[in-house]
Amino acid sequence: MWRRLVLAVIGRLRKGRIEFIEGGRVTAIGEPGAEPLARVEVHSPRAWRRMVRGSTGMAEGYIKREWDSDDLVALGTIAGLNLGQLDRIKRRFRFILWPFQKLGPLMPRTTRRRGRKQIAAHYDLGNDLFSLFLDESMNYSAAVFRGDPDQTLEQAQVAKMDQIADQLDLSPETHLLEIGTGWGGLSIHLAGRSGCRITTTTISREQASLARERIAAAGLSERIEVVETDYRDLTGSFDRLVSIEMIEAVGWRDFPTYFAKCSELLTEDGSMLLQAITIDDDAYELEKASRSFISRYIFPGGCLPSIREIRRCLDQVTDLTIAWSDELRLDYARTLAEWRRRFNAVTGRLESLGYDDRFRRMWVMYLCLAEAGFRSGRNSDFQLLLTKPRSPRVVALAPASAKEAV
């Protein structure tokens, strides 16, 4: 029953091809020769029942070795390319599928206490884990590759940080606020390059501890202050603000609160560099209500904004204007591919750190699905320069010079 139901739901793929292999029998979905191609080898009939639950059920089956694939990125990309079609088909089967889908509770508001718990669930897994696959600066966000196939991840992350510095126009007189410290890599780079003064905040104890160590080792403790304060409780006035892929942890109900607070913290001639992972505009309402594999197992409570939602918040609760933008969709796909390559190369070290096979497969699935989201176009990543009305960048940037990505 479950096998027939799954094949009925996905049996009309318009893009790509999936070949299911079970007990020597091959069932193909999609046209012969269609790309991308993914093969799924089913080891247990339980896998079919889990697949009815979408990405969460499929991931759980993969983690438990009920099925494998020769190319998880291709499989995820096929899903992303066919989401519109799959949604329409699922609506036709909704009365059959509904009783078997585990519906999560409505996403609760991200309170300060819940926010710390959700951040700890991912970022406090252990600094040693992240150091295994990130670059030396420990940037856990999209790098900026510029078409050079020989460019290393380290070089691309430096290019990203240099682009941020250029857009913010930092100097020794600048006081910069960073919302989302990470492990201190961006603050160290910006302070070292421009001499600016930085206040950076995180609610991850693990990140704060290592960031302070790295800042001290770089001799920048007098220029960079690490605080462990929820963004909603920040006070003061800052010339510049930077927030790199932190908004995804805010929760959709608090997107207006986040932007209003950022605007409040900036001087009247200030500017903000936001880097955000985004969801396609047409998929935003579904994102708000979903309990996907990544939002359940990897980033609890997370929600991706759409560009339309970012614009709505800016218009309704701030006086900020988008003065410049850069889309990093394919840059992020390449970043994730490099993280995955490095992660797969250190399997033995994962075991020595106490991470078992299920954890490893869960993270492989996460890295592959994330990469697929960017390759299919369902997700993107943007750098946006947001300026206050009196910012000199508003005058200096002619409209034609800003990319029309948003």
Q: What is the pLDDT of residues 254-292, one digit of tens each?
A: 999 999 999 999 999 999 999 999 999 988 987 887 778
Q: Which of 70-74, 90-94, 116-120, 181-185 has the lowest mean pLDDT?
A: 90-94
CB 193 within 8 A of CB 164: no
**Percent with pLDDT over 70 in the chain:** 86
Q: Cα–Cα distance between 292 and 294 in angstroms, integer? A: 5
pLDDT of 235: 97
Q: Select 112-401's CATH number: 3.40.50.410, 3.40.50.12780, 1.10.287.1080, 3.40.50.150.
A: 3.40.50.150
Highest mean pLDDT among 50-59, 239-248, 291-300: 239-248
CB 255 within 8 A of CB 247: yes
2-100 and 112-401: same fold? Answer: no
Average pLDDT over residues 346-355: 89
* Model confidence band, residue 399 (pLDDT cutoffs 50, 70, 90): very low
Q: Hey, what are 350's tokens?
A: 């994962």
Average pLDDT over residues 283-303: 83
CB 182 within 8 A of CB 140: yes
Q: Across the strands, what pairs with 20?
A: 27, 40
- State the sign of the Cα–Cα–Cα–Cα dihedral 316, 320, 321, 323: negative
Q: Across the strands, what pairs with 68?
A: 41
Note the pLDDT tens digit of each residue in 324-335.
Answer: 999 999 999 999
Tell which phi-psi region holds residue 19, choosing left (phi > 0), alpha (psi between -120 and 50) or beta.
beta
Environment class of residue 136 by beta-carbon count within 10 Å: exposed (0-12), middle (13-18) or buried (19+)? exposed
Q: Across the strands, what pairs with 273?
A: 242, 385
DSSP state of 19: E
Highest mean pLDDT among 101-110, 211-220, 275-284: 211-220
What would be the CATH architecture of the domain defined by 2-100? 2-Layer Sandwich (3.30)
Domain boundaries along the sequence of the chain:
2-100, 112-401
Residue for token digits 């614009």? 311
Helices 72-81 and 357-376 cross at an angle (nearest 10°) of 40
Look at residue 37 and give its three-state secondary structure. strand
Which run of H or of E encompasses 207?
helix 205-217
**pTM for this predicted structure:** 0.90
Q: Cα–Cα distance between 262 and 78 in angstroms, integer? A: 37
Written as one letter, the residue type at 389 is P
